[in-house]
Structure 1
Amino acid sequence: MSTFAVFGMTADVALAEARKITKTTRPSGKAGAPPLQLTLAEWNEAVEQRAAAIMASEKVKQLSHLFDAPQYAQQFIELARKSGQCRDLRIRAKCELTDAKGKPVINPKTKLPRIGWMEYHHATSSAA
């Protein structure tokens, strides 16, 4: 049985990540001098610029918790699109990874198939 999750990027997640990685200091410009502290306004501006760069990049993160059916992940995507700016929302399933020929990728250390996230493609079947 597969597990499903939604991957992508939203403005809120990008802003939260930018807050984590934006430094509160900047180089002083003089050799050997200690770095200068940013003011709150300068730091907020740097965070906004970093968040915009994250939204423009191709990086995606897991946005949702794990679902046991893809329709629940689809409902999460619909809610995320209504709530604000988002991009690249995709459903991924956790399953055995396969190579280009369809054979499972084997972990050389454990000799077991590798498990990872793969794009989930909704299979539409026509009933006769």
Structure 2
Amino acid sequence: MSTFAVFGMILDVAKTEAREKTAGTRKNPKAPAASSRSLRPNGWSWSPSAPRRSWGTIRQLSPLFDAPQYAEQFIELARKTLRCRDMRIRAKAVLVGAKGKPIINPKTKAPTVGFTEWPPKLDSQAA
């Protein structure tokens, strides 16, 4: 069962998200309802500060892996070839609440499964 994935942010993904979120036209409130002014008259005009606004979102970057060492190899390769940040491994697991009990979906009565940090922090380990 594939349970490990790499989460983080890559500059190319940030640029793509910024392009999708940037409006291509701006409505003129004084003009008739059907008119709008294009913000990109000569192709794509994109501000260099746009990816900085999008650098805050962490996304799943890799497919699911069977073992954490494959995720580590993905991180090493990404760091060598791309501009990236906050690369971390997360594993699929049953999500637990503040008291340590599993979160139960009220509709299906099944435990909620999501991604948690890897390696898991064990409170019972001696320092």
Q: Distance in 2 between matches of 1:99 and 1:2?
A: 24
C-alpha distance 52-45 of structure 1, shift in aligned 2 (>3 A): same
Q: Which amino acid aligns with 1:116?
A: G
Match of 1:100?
A: 98
Structure 1 unaligned residues grouped into runs of 5+: 124-128
**RMSD of aligned C-alpha atoms?**
2.3
Corresponding letter in the other structure for 1:39 = R
In structure 1, the residue matched to 2:88 is 90
1:21 equivalent in structure 2: 21
CA deviation string 1:50-82 (max 9, x = no partner): 222112x2x111100010111111111111111
Higher helix share: 1
Tell whether the 8 Å contact from 1:2 to 1:93 is kept in structure 2 after alignment.
no
Provide closer, same or farther for how the CA distance between residues 65 and 78 of structure 1 changes in structure 2, counting only shifts above 3 A.
same
Q: How does 1:4-15 map to 2 (within 5 A)?
A: 4-15=4-15
SS at match of 2:4: strand
Gaps of 5+ in 2: 122-127
Length-normalised TM-score, structure 2: 0.80
Map 1:68-87 → 2, pairs under 5 A: 68-87=66-85
Percent of paired sites with the same residue: 54
Written as runs of structure 1 = structure 2, the 5 A alignment for 1:105-124 is: 105-121=103-119
TM (normalized to structure 1)?
0.80
Question: Contact between 2:19 and 2:46, CA under 8 Å: does it hold in 1?
Answer: no
Question: 1: CA distance between counterparts of 2:116 and 2:10?
Answer: 20
Asked whether the 8 Å contact 2:75–2:87 carries over to 1, the reply is yes
Between the two proteins, the alignment pairs up a number of residues equal to 120
- Say if 1:119 and 1:71 are closer, same or farther in 2 by CA, change over 3 A: same
- Amino acid paired to 1:104: P
